[in-house]
Structure 1
């Protein structure tokens, strides 16, 4: 299975233009992916720089035929014209998709800094090695306190899913909203984490669990032990980092680490202020 994760900055490149056709060309150039996880996807949000209020989920879906589109809105606000403006993360899967969850992450009030609502999108996909939970998110940039709270929530949701993975289905639940679908313990978490590889938040996310819950491993470190993470932001001049850093990660549960065969980062494209990252599992 090949998975791509990329903060596309609503299709806005380093030239300031919003061009989703360019975003799609970049994705197709990089490989033939089974799952594509994108952060900063907008629907009817003309206030974003360079945007025209596009339905970006629809445009991306049209450019990814054969994929199931799953969108999770973190921001859902009135557009001032009787409609809604949405901003969040999307998963596109050409593998069969089971149950889907859209988890709003904690947003502690901090009046002195800007911040926004964040979301974790979770979907079960069927792979050659069985069902796998794919999760993608975009953590808060301006506040370490909020990132830490959001990581606590993600870890709690992972532990909850692992507990559900051993729950047997009940016959009387079939055919309705109570029907139980698989929520496996094996999982992959990716996205724009807005922390560097040396930050305490990474250690917090990778900390062991108790009660047999499988912990997360950093895919880069599994395949490149002892090497510094390749940067995913700041390769092209941006205003939010002083030097190139890795903000975009792929984490896998312990049982999947041995199946990792590749981890790539495209340092060439300037179609966003972040670089695409991808992994391959055998």
Structure 2
């Protein structure tokens, strides 16, 4: 299984040009991906630099035929003349058994520039069994909000792991009470908007309870304490004039750690202000 995560900045590259075709073409060149997790996908936002009113969720799905697509809208504004939507997206070659769109906490902070955030979760029926994948994008401007969002992600993982252990099998005849299997082994990925030594990241990796397999950083499972490859500010020096750094992560639950074969950051593309990151499971 090959999973690619990428904050695509609505397809805007370091050259200022919005080009979703470039994003998809590079992702395909980089790896024969099975799962594609994207952050910062937009629809109806001509105000974003280089963008227009295009529905990028639809366009990305059309550019990846054969993939099942999930849209996770965080900011949803019924504007005039167009509806504005902004959030995350997941595309998978594997069948999706159960899908959730979790709006994350957004505690009020007067004077702090912030927005609603979302986590998109799907249980995938992979050759290795059921795997639960969640992709998210945490708040950039507020440590308080990131902590609240991380606590919710921890609770969602605990709840899902409990469902995976204990949910009884049900039939389609149970109508809305029919629950497809929920994956126990889990991947959490995306732009966490915090550095590797940040307290927020440490909290996300902390034990939850005796019954819930904790999250581990997939990069560290493969590379140990070796320096991380930067994921932000490699090419876009207008937004990020300093040294490149790391905001993007792939976490795996403890019961999936033995399957982690490789984690690679692609440093070659300038199709976004972030670099894509690949997880390979064996």
Unmatched segments (≥5 aa) in structure 2: none
Alignment correspondent of 1:263:
263
Contact 2:69 2:89 in 1 (8 A): yes
Q: Residue in 1 aligned with 2:158? A: 159
Equivalent position SS for 2:249: strand
Q: Within 5 Å, give how 1:164-179 maps onto structure 2.
A: 164-169=163-168, 171=170, 174-179=173-178
Instruction: State the Cα distance separating 1:170 from its structure 2 match.
Output: 5.6
Q: Secondary structure at the match of 1:32?
A: coil
Alignment of 1:77-226 (within 5 A): 77-81=77-81, 83-169=82-168, 171=170, 174-226=173-225
183 and 238 in structure 1: CA distance in 2 versus 1, 3 angstrom threshold: farther
Q: What's the CA shift for 1:229?
A: 1.7
- Structure-2 residue corresponding to 1:59: 59
- Provide closer, same or farther for how the CA distance between residues 166 and 243 of structure 1 changes in structure 2, counting only shifts above 3 A: same
CA contact (8 A) 1:45 1:79 kept: no
The answer on whether the counterparts of 1:174 and 1:180 sit within 8 Å (CA) in structure 2 is no
Q: Secondary structure at the match of 2:182?
A: coil
- How many residues align? The count is 281
Q: 1:217, 1:257 within 8 Å by CA — same for their partners in 2?
A: yes
- Contact 1:95–1:125 (Cα < 8 Å) also in 2: yes
CA distance in 2, matches of 1:72, 1:181: 20
What is the alpha-carbon distance in structure 1 between the residues aligned to residue 259 and residue 157 of structure 2?
20
Checking the alignment, whether the CA contact within 8 Å between 2:124 and 2:183 is kept in structure 1 is: no
> Deviating runs (4+, > 3 A) in structure 1?
170-175
Shift of 1:111: 1.5
TM-score (norm 2): 0.96
Shift of 1:147: 0.5
CA deviation after TM superposition for structure 1 residue 85, in Å: 0.8
